[in-house]
Structures are given as structure tokens and as C-alpha cells.
Structure 1
Amino acid sequence: MVIGSKRTLVFALLLQFAASLSAHAQSCSVTSASGNYGSVDILAGGAVDTTSTFTVTCSGCALGCTVNACVQFNQGAPNSSSSVRSLGSGANTAIHELYTDSGRTQVWGSWGYGTTAYGSGGVSINLSLPLLGGPAQQTLTVYGRFLANQQSTIPGTYVWSTASPVVAYAAYLLTSPNCSSNPGTTTNAGSSPWTATIAGNCIVSTTPLNFGNASLLTSNIDGVGTISVKCTNTTPYSIGLDNGLHASGSQRRMQAGSSFINYNLFTDAARSGAWTSTTSATTCTSGANTCVLGTGTALIQNVSVYGRVPPQTSPPPGAYADTIVVTVTF
């Protein structure tokens, strides 16, 4: 009889514990995990990394228990492809990705619980809840990367929208639920947008204009130089030239010691459009053909500079030179 009573007591305690676990339902919440890549130099072509942190909090076990939480990030929107995460700016997209590790080798995906599936799954954590149902929490870091080699992306403010992180959770006593099978209740952060700003930009380089050697300046001497411009896709730009270091009024001059040679720069091979400065990206402020206008393609665009030394009194022998400032307005 004593042994039987002990068995009955143990059985009753087990029933009471199970009833208590069921009567005090667990609940979990998750904070937003928004991210910002800042201003992306798209022409540089490199990756841009950032991080975001968020917290998973669970409570509700009066006698204490462990909660398994399956933390997921879905594909988000816009969905330009089932295999990538895209940020959007109107009809334009750029690609970024979220990872579980700082080396950015493991994509943080979703098993599809309470959201859409993406990749091979998310991250599983276990939270030990204390007696009397007090909360337990864990802060996690998600590692974002704006992917490299997207130079043709059109400037704009890009946003990736998602309700992630999404957490599927369940309490357990001995064996943790497997996140590869539905663990139970789900909750989400509501909104965790990620943003990137791509500003219009241009890069410029030049090759010298060389008039060669001459002994007498009795006829025109022509030369051609090159300006190489690379601007962001669809960005309008203009190229203006100043009058150089040794100008007399608007007349450009090359100098050697105290002597000068007059020369001129033109926008066309016929040397009819004198090249001047401009302050607008879309028009030549000194008149038609006084600058060069273009639209960026994210590729290098070469522009010729047509130079001419007109007939003039021949100066003393020497190496004559000048420096012109090239201004790209965009």
C-alpha cells in the first residue's frame, strides 16, 4: 500500500506539472531589424556591408521551461527573382543579402513558418525561462551586404520591405522541436525596412593634348586630347573647360618662362565651337556647342578635345605648357 501510494503521488505530480505547462501559454515577441547601407558609391563597384541587431523575448512558463525559437527572414519585397533579395526604387532594383555570420557566407533564410520560405532556413535558438514565468531574451545580429558589381544601377533611394524577422516558437521539456518541422506559434516584427541611397556621380580622367614640335607658327597647328567620363546610369552631365593658368582675358595661352603661345580649344573637329565653362548639367550656358553634353551609361565615355595653335609671332624656343581644369557638372 505504501509503494502504491508513492506511485500514485508521482503520477499525480506529473499530471499537475503537465497541466500547469499547458495552462500558462508561452508567448514570444521580436523587435524590428531595420538596416541602412547609407550612400552607396555605385561606380566603385564594391560591396557595402552593414549590420542590424534585434531581440527575441519569450515568457509564460510558471514552472520554468525552455522555448525553442526559429528565427526567420523571408525574401521580402520587391521580388525580382526567387533566388535574391532586391531593394526597389520605382521600377528599378538592386540586390542585397542577409547573412547569419560576419563573414557573410551563410544566408539567413526562412523555413516558411508564418511567412514565405527563402533559402535553406533560418536560425534556431533556445531560451530558458525561469520559474514564475519571467521573460528570457536573446539579442541577435543580422549581417547585410549590398552586393558588388552593380555599377549599372540607376540612382535613387532603394528600399527592401519585410515583416521579418519572423519567429516560430514552442516550449519543450526534454527534446527541442526541430525547426525543419513546424514548431508551433509564430510572431513577427511588423516592419523592418532596409534602405540604400545611390546618388548620381561621375568620374573623370584625361590624356594630354600635345601640339608637337614646331619652329615657326605661320600656320594652324592642330592637336587632339581626350577626356574620359564615367557617370552613373541615366545621369545627365556636361563637360566645361576653364581658360587655364596663363590666360589673357578669354585667350588661352601656354607659357615658357616669360613667353607665351596663344591656343584655342573646341568641341568639334571643324574647330568652330569654342569650348568654355558651363554651370548646367543639361545645357551649355554660354551657348550651343560651347560645352559637351552627355548621359551616363555607367561605362567610360571618351570625348575628344580639339586644339589649335593659330598663326602668330613665333616666340623664343622652349617647352610651352598650360593646365586646363575640366569640370563635369551632373
Structure 2
Amino acid sequence: MRGIFLFALLALAPPLAADTGTNELTVQQSFQIQAVISSGCLLGSGASDVTSFGSLSFGQFATLPADVNQVTTPGGGSIILQCTPGLALTIALSAGANTSNVSSGRLLAKGAETLRYQLYKDAGYSAVWGDGSNGATAMSLTFPVGGTSQTFPVYARLFSTAVMPSAGIYTDTVTVTITY
């Protein structure tokens, strides 16, 4: 009797081997994968430098009997941007640390002594580059398709002076603001 009971119990037990697959159920569900690219710009004046646009230097002079024109270069004051294609933006330049009104010229300073200069958007030195106040306008543009970096030179003019300036280094700091 014990043998019959054991046989009946084994007959009712589930198989120990894997299912053959004839009655398998499959459940599937998809999930989404995405990447979001926000509009924006990268700043810099060189391949690895994104913290500074460099320095614009007018050079060294004993006197200033005539205006001195200078065009910036990458690493020497040019503004280099890489922005989202199609992004509308403005590039504004502050008045500098030594004046609040660019209409009569920005100022390089050595203590209380100053030299007058100006920054322009164009090679003709006619469009004063500023922040939209005091007759100076910001540069407005839509970034081109292609995603490559664009270089925006700054045209600078150091104005002549009849007064002999004292020897030394005259400086100013201009802030570049990108708005998009």
C-alpha cells in the first residue's frame, strides 16, 4: 500500500525537468531612452581655454600723436563661441572698469591718469560695441547651423593725445555678456 501511495504522490508532483516551451507565456514591455540637448553656448579663446578671452594689447609707445588701431586675435581678445545651431543671441561688452559711459570713449587707467580708447564691432571703426546703452549697441545674431565655433574679432582704437602720458602700464577690464 505504501508503494501505491508513493507512486500516486509522484504522479501528481510537478515535473522536475524544465518546461518544454510548448505552453510558455512571454511578457514584454518597452522603455524609452532619450537625451535632451538644451540651448546654450561654450565660451573661450582657444582649444582648451574657456576661462579667459585673453588680452588685447595696443603695444608700447613713447607718445601718441596718432590713433592706434588694433584687431583682436584668438587668445588676444577675440570672442570665440560655440552655440546651439539656430540659437538667437546677443554679445554685449561692458563699459569697462574705468568709466560708465562709452559714448565719449572707454578709459585705460594708471592710477588717476587715463588714456581714451574705444571698441568696435566693425573693421570701419564706426559701430561702437557696448551693451545697448550710451549709443553703443550689442551684437545680435542667430548662430549658424553646423555647430562649429565662430570667432568675433573686436576692433579697438587707442585715441591720440596731445599731452605726453607718463610712463607705465594703463589697463582696463571689459566684461563680455552672452544673452540667449
- The alpha-carbon distance between structure 1 residues 329 and 182, as it changes in their structure 2 partners (threshold 3 A), is farther
Give the aligned length: 163
Matched, 1:201 2:49: no
Q: State percent identity of aligned pairs.
A: 28
RMSD: 3.0
Contact 1:267/1:289 (8 A) holds in 2: no
Match of 2:120 in 1: 266
Q: CA deviation at 1:237?
A: 2.2
Q: Which of these residues, 125, 146, 150, is aligned with residue 301 of structure 1?
A: 150
Give the unaligned 5+ runs of structure 1.
19-172, 279-284
C-alpha separation in 2, matches of 1:183 and 1:287: 82
TM-score (ref. length: structure 1): 0.43
User: Which residue identity is paired with 1:219?
Assistant: A
- The alpha-carbon distance between structure 1 residues 323 and 175, as it changes in their structure 2 partners (threshold 3 A), is farther
Contact 2:129/2:136 (8 A) holds in 1: no
Residue deviations 1:184-211 (CA, integer Å, cap 9, x gap): 212245x644454321111222132110
Residue deviations 1:136-193 (CA, integer Å, cap 9, x gap): xxxxxxxxxxxxxxxxxxxxxxxxxxxxxxxxxxxxx534569xx888212245x644
Higher strand share: 1
Q: Once superposed, which parts of structure 1, at least 4 consecutive aligned residues long, lie more than 6 Å away? A: 285-289
Alignment of 1:170-181 (within 5 A): 173-176=15-18
Determine which structure has greater relative contact order: mean sequence separation of CA pairs < 8 Å that are 6+ residues apart, divided by chain length.
2
Match of 2:167 in 1: 317
Matched, 1:224 2:78: no
Give the unaligned 5+ runs of structure 2.
45-52, 73-77
Matched, 1:328 2:170: no
- The alpha-carbon distance between structure 1 residues 322 and 210, as it changes in their structure 2 partners (threshold 3 A), is same
C-alpha separation in 1, matches of 2:167 and 2:100: 21
Contact 2:130/2:136 (8 A) holds in 1: no
Contact 2:120/2:128 (8 A) holds in 1: yes
- The alpha-carbon distance between structure 1 residues 184 and 243, as it changes in their structure 2 partners (threshold 3 A), is same
User: Which residue identity is paired with 1:9?
Assistant: F
Q: Name the SS for the 2:157 alignment partner.
A: strand
Match of 1:11 in 2: 7
Contact 1:210/1:224 (8 A) holds in 2: no
User: Which residue identity is paired with 2:63?
Assistant: L
- The alpha-carbon distance between structure 1 residues 273 and 183, as it changes in their structure 2 partners (threshold 3 A), is farther
TM-score (ref. length: structure 2): 0.75
Q: CA deviation at 1:9?
A: 2.9
Alignment of 1:39-50 (within 5 A): none
